């Protein structure tokens, strides 16, 4: 399917849906328009049937969604995707930090010798502590 959707993703998306938010808004609009045209009974029926579908999707589809996701093998997908995204962010931060440290070394007012080494060690230690805390929390 298009845009990286697998058939399993499509089944989950169609079962989950929007729970009728758009349909209910359209039904309310139709009811108002039909009432202005003197066909309020038809507008009320459209709203009644649409509301029934919305309630049905809330009562049937919503509670069964976790079981469907497990059945389709999609229940842990978000965790894997989030882990990949975090790994990508960490790599990008490391590359950026290395590039910035290289640029700072070239700066005329950059510390030299032991002062430079101390600042780098402190900065790297802080990054490592943050990464360790993130690993422990996540």
Exposure class string for 59-71: b at 16+ Cβ within 10 A, else e: eeeeeeeeebbee
For 36-45, b/e burial (b = at least 16 CB within 10 A) is: eeeeeeebee
- Determine the angle formed by the axes of helices 7-16 and 62-72, rounding to 10 degrees: 170
Could you tell me what percent of the chain has a pLDDT over 70? 85
pLDDT higher than threshold 60 for residue 137: no
Residue 38 scores a pLDDT above 70? yes
> What pLDDT is stored for residue 77 in this prediction?
59
**Stated pTM of the model:** 0.45
> Is the predicted pLDDT of residue 135 greater than 60, yes or no?
no
Q: Is the pLDDT of residue 37 over 90?
A: yes
Confidence of residue 109 (pLDDT cuts 50, 70, 90): confident
Q: Which residue has the higher pLDDT, 121 or 2?
A: 121
Backbone angles phi, psi at 76, to 5 degrees: -100, 5
pLDDT score of 35: 93
Q: Where are the alpha helices (DSSP H) in the chain?
A: 7-16, 21-36, 40-56, 62-72, 77-106, 113-137
Among residues 19, 16, 20, the alpha carbon closest in space to that of 67 is found at: 16
Q: Is 30 in contact with 43 (CB distance < 8 Å)? A: yes
Q: What is the pLDDT of residue 34?
A: 93
Residue where the block lists tokens 């309630």: 55
**Res. 91 pLDDT band, cuts 50 70 90:** confident
How far, CA to CA in Å, does 115 sit from each of 62, 94, 101, 121?
Answer: 60, 22, 14, 10
């Amino acid at each position: 399917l298009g845009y990286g959707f697998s058939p399993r993703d499509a089944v989950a998306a169609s079962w989950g849906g929007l729970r009728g938010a758009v349909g209910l808004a359209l039904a309310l609009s139709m009811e108002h328009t039909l009432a202005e045209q003197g066909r309020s009974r038809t507008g009320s029926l459209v709203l009644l049937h649409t509301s029934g579908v919305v309630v049905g999707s809330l009562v049937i589809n919503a509670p069964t969604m976790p079981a469907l996701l497990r059945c389709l093998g999609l229940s842990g997908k978000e965790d894997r995707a989030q882990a990949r995204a975090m790994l990508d962010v960490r790599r990008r931060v490391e590359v950026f930090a290395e590039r910035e440290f290289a640029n700072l070394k070239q700066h005329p007012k950059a510390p030299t010798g032991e002062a430079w080494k101390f600042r780098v060690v402190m900065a790297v230690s802080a990054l490592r502590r943050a990464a360790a805390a993130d690993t422990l929390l996540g």
